[in-house]
Amino acid sequence: MRNLVLLISILTISSCNIENKKKVDEIVKSTLDVKQISKGNSKPKIDITNDEMDVFLVALHYNIPVSEIANTLKWDEEKTKYNISILIENGLLQKQDDKLVPGLGIFTLERGRLLTEKCSLLAKEIADSIKGKIPDLVKLHDNSDISKVYSFYDLSFFYLSDVLLDVGQINNVEKRFLRKERPLRNGSRYYLAILEKENESIEEAYGIYGNQVIVRNDSTLISVYGNTRTDQHKGWKNYKEKVVHSFSKNDFNTVVYEMPKVFLPTLVQILEKHKLDFEKVYKELAFDKEITFEEFFIWWYHIIYTETTDVLMEQNVIKRPQDGLFYYKMSM
C-alpha cells in the first residue's frame, strides 16, 4: 500500500500540466477510438464519429475555442449549433460557467501514459493474488470438457485475463466495487469514452485487451479476445481461418460463473484498499471536471487489468496468444 501511494506521489509532479496545447488539425490527424460499455438497447442514441463530433469533444478538452474548432471542421453556424444541441441532449456535452466541457471520458495519449504508470505496482499486486488462485482454477479446468483438448496453460490468457478480470468480471466490479448505476444519458445508461491511440499501431489504445462478439445466435457465441482488433491487423475477423477454442454447454457455467467467483472477493478487497488513491488520481488528472468517478474508473480498470495481464505474461504464467488474439466458441 505504501509503495502504491509513494508511486502516485512521485508521479503527481509530472502529471500536473501533462497535456500540451494541441491544434484542431493535429487532433483530426490523430487516431480516436470511441468505446462503450452498454447492455441491450440501453446504449448511445447518437454516433459521435459522425460529423467528427469526437474531434470536437477532444478539442474542447484542450480548451480550444468553439469558433476555431468549427472553422477547422468546416461546420457552418447552423451545423455547429445543431451538433452542440444534440451532444448536450445526449449528456455528452455540458455547460460549466458559460464554457462547454465534454461529458464523457477523454483519454488522451498523455493521460493514458500516466494512468498506465500509476497502476504498475497495483497490477503486480493483482497478478500475485491471481497466482495464488491458480490451483483452484486448475481444478475447475480439469473438470471441464475442453480440458480433454487443451491444457490450462493453453487457455491461460483467456482464463486469467478475459474470464477473471474482463468480460467475466466487469459487471461484478460495477456491482461490488463501484456500486452505482451507469450514467443516465437521454434515457439510456452506458459508459462512453474516446481513447486516443498511437497512429498506425497494430495494438489498440494503451494496449488494452478487450472482448468482441463476432457471431451470436440462440445456441452459440463466437468471440475474440485480445488487443489487436485494429484496421492495421488485416483479416482478424476471419475467425474461420483461425484456431477457435470450443467450450461445451457444460463448460459455459464454469467459465461464466464459477471461475470469476474464485477471484472476485480478492479483487474487490484489493480495489477497496486502494480506493482513496484512485479518487486522488481522478482529481489529479482533472477527470472530475468531465465525468463521474465511476465512469473514470471503469476505463482505468481496463488499463489496470491489461497491465496485470502483461505482468503474468512476462512471468510466463500466461501463454501469449499468437497475433495477440484468442478466438473461442461458447455453446449456450
CATH code for the domain in which residue 27 is found:
1.10.10
Kindly state whether residues 206 and 239 are assigned to the same domain.
yes
User: Same structural domain for residues 242 and 270?
Assistant: yes
Distances (CA, A) of 1 to 55, 228, 272: 38, 33, 12
Which of 56, 73, 107 is the last residue before a domain boundary?
Answer: 107
Per the CB < 8 A criterion, the answer to whether 307 and 123 are in contact is: yes
Candidates 215, 157, 205, 208; CA nearest to 331 is: 215
Task: Evaluate whether residue 192 is within a structural domain.
Answer: no
Q: Do the domain assignments include residue 6? A: no
Burial class (CB in 10 A: 0-12, 13-18, 19+), 94: middle
pLDDT tens, 104-139?
A: 999 999 999 999 999 999 999 999 999 999 999 999
In a domain, 298, yes or no: yes
* pLDDT band at residue 21 using 50, 70 and 90 as cut-offs: confident
pLDDT band at 314 (very low <50, low <70, confident <90, very high): very high
Number of domains forming the structure of the chain: 2
Sequence-distant (6+) residues with CB within 8 A of 102 are 57, 58, 60, 61, 92, 93, 94, 290
For residue 128, the number of C-alpha atoms closer than 13 Å in the C-beta half-sphere is 7
Do 45 and 92 share a domain, yes or no?
yes
For residues 94 and 207, membership in a common domain is answered with no
Q: What is the rounded distance in angstroms from the CA atom of residue 204 to the CA atom of residue 196?
A: 9
Helix (H) or strand (E) holding 305: helix 293-314
DSSP states along 164-179 = TTSTTTHHHHIIIII-
The alpha carbons of the chain give a radius of gyration, in whole angstroms, of 21
**Domain match, 48 and 167 both:** no
Domain boundary among 58, 81, 107: 107
* 75 and 150 housed in the same domain: no
The two beta strands, 191-197 and 105-107, are parallel
C-alpha angle 311-233-256 in degrees, rounded to nearest 5: 55
In a domain, 86, yes or no: yes
pLDDT tops 50 at residue 6: no
Distance (Å, rounded) from C-alpha 94 to C-alpha 63? 14
- Regarding whether 163 and 40 lie in a shared domain, the answer is no
Coil/strand/helix, residue 226:
strand
Q: What is the pLDDT of residue 98?
A: 87
**Residue 285 sits in the same domain as residue 313:** yes
Give yes or no for residue 11 having a pLDDT over 80: no
pLDDT in tens, 29-73: 999 999 999 998 999 999 999 999 999 999 999 999 999 999 999
Q: What pLDDT shows up at residue 2?
A: 46
- The phi, psi pair for 244, rounded to 5°, reads -105, 120
227-252: average pLDDT: 95
User: Predicted confidence band at 322 (pLDDT cuts at 50, 70, 90)?
Assistant: confident
Does 164 lie in the same domain as 26? no
User: Taking 80 as the threshold, does the pLDDT of residue 251 lie above it?
Assistant: yes
Residue 236: CB atoms within 10 Å: 21
pTM equals 0.93
Residues 219 and 294 in one domain: yes
Predicted pLDDT of residue 8: 43
In a domain, 70, yes or no: yes
Residue 9 placed within a domain: no
- Among residues 87, 107, 127, the one where a domain terminates is 107
Share of the chain above pLDDT 70, in %: 94
Interior angle at CA 43, CA 211 and CA 69, nearest 5: 95
- Write down the pLDDT at residue 330: 96
Q: Are 292 and 278 in contact (CB under 8 A)?
A: no
Residue 262 is assigned to a structural domain of this protein = yes
Query: What is the pLDDT at residue 19?
Result: 63
Give yes or no for residue 13 having a pLDDT over 70.
Answer: no
Distance in angstroms (rounded) separating the CA atoms of residues 332 and 326: 19
Average pLDDT value over all residues in the chain: 93
In this structure, what C-alpha cell is assigned to residue 84? 452542440
Look up residue 291 and give its three cell numbers.
Answer: 465525468
Q: How confident is the model at residue 258 (pLDDT cuts 50, 70, 90)?
A: very high
Do 137 and 35 belong to one domain? no
For residues 122 and 25, state if they share a domain.
no
Give residue 100's Cα distance to chain centre.
25
Segment 294-310, tens digit of pLDDT: 999 999 999 999 999 99
Domain that holds residue 68: 19-107
User: Taking phi first (over 0 means left), then psi (-120 to 50 degrees means alpha), and beta for anything else, what does residue 63 get?
Assistant: left
Model pLDDT, residue 20: 63
SS3 assignment, position 332? coil
Does residue 11 form part of some domain? no
